[in-house]
């Protein structure tokens, strides 16, 4: 079959900034380094990405391997969940995970596909803004109250936000978050 006879489904590219999610969870939500049971369930995140727009997902998990070491048990767990770990290395002053994600977002601009980025980081603002072309869906998986303000402004241009706890369901226990709750989402049973 030729390419025109066999059409593949439009993909969703899931890019995970694991460092940013872990740091935001630890510093801003929990106030301590997250224990394993407090961390997100990465399988739930990729499952959410698959069902969100009903498309196949290419899940990419960016890791800083500048020390020359990789957390092999974690890498193997990611592989078992269908993620493609991307361990990057560079000089100590380089934000290798951010650079890798920026380059990947720039490359996606030239291919067909939608994007979900798991991060709060404003370093991706130019790349996310460039993807908001009216042709593709672009979403941010995050704790909405900690998203960079300039990224928040992109909601008017079509950037969608998916709360990691409330919408994605990435955690097994409720987090101790203090955030503005839209009244239609308020569940008093969570507090009593």
CATH number at residue 169: 3.40.50.1010
Instruction: Work out the pLDDT band at 8, boundaries 50, 70, 90.
Output: low
- Is 1 within a domain? no
- Is 5 within a domain? no
Q: How many domains does the chain have?
A: 1
Q: What is the DSSP string of 79-134?
A: HHTT-EEEEE---TT--HHHHHHHHHHHHHTTSS-EEEEE---GGGHHHHHHH-SS
- Is 146 within a domain? yes
Rounded Cα–Cα distance for residues 39 and 21 (Å): 9
Residue 120: what pLDDT? 96
* pLDDT for 2 beyond 50: no
* pLDDT for 3 beyond 50: no
- Is 68 within a domain? yes
| Domain housing 79 | 12-190
Token pair, residue 107, equals 């490359």
Instruction: Work out the pLDDT band at 177, boundaries 50, 70, 90.
Output: confident
- Is 180 within a domain? yes
User: What single DSSP character describes residue 62?
Assistant: E
User: What single DSSP character describes residue 161?
Assistant: E
Count how many Cα atoms sit within 13 Å of the Cα of residue 45 in the half-sphere of its side chain. 33
- Is 41 within a domain? yes
Stronger pLDDT, 4 or 76, i.e. the higher one: 76
- Is 143 within a domain? yes
- Is 64 within a domain? yes
Rounded Cα–Cα distance for residues 140 and 20 (Å): 13
Q: How many other CB atoms are found less than 10 A from the CB of residue 154?
A: 20
């Amino acid at each position: 079959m030729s390419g025109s006879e066999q059409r593949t489904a439009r993909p969703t590219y899931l890019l995970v900034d694991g460092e940013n999610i872990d740091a935001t969870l630890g510093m801003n939500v929990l106030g301590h380094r997250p224990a394993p049971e407090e961390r997100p369930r990465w399988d739930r995140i990729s499952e959410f990405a698959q069902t969100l727009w009903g498309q196949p997902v290419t899940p990419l998990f960016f890791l800083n391997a500048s020390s020359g070491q990789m957390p092999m048990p974690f890498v193997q767990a990611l592989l078992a969940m269908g993620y493609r770990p991307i361990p990057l290395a560079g000089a100590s002053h380089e934000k290798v995970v951010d650079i890798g994600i920026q380059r990947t977002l720039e490359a996606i601009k030239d291919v067909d596909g939608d994007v979900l980025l798991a991060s709060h980081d404003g370093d991706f603002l130019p790349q996310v803004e460039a993807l908001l072309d009216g042709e593709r869906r672009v979403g941010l998986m995050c704790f909405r109250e900690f998203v960079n303000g300039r990224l928040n402004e992109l909601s008017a241009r079509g950037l969608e936000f998916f709360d990691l706890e409330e919408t994605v369901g990435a955690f097994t226990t409720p987090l101790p978050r203090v955030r503005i709750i839209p009244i239609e989402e308020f569940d008093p049973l969570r507090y009593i």
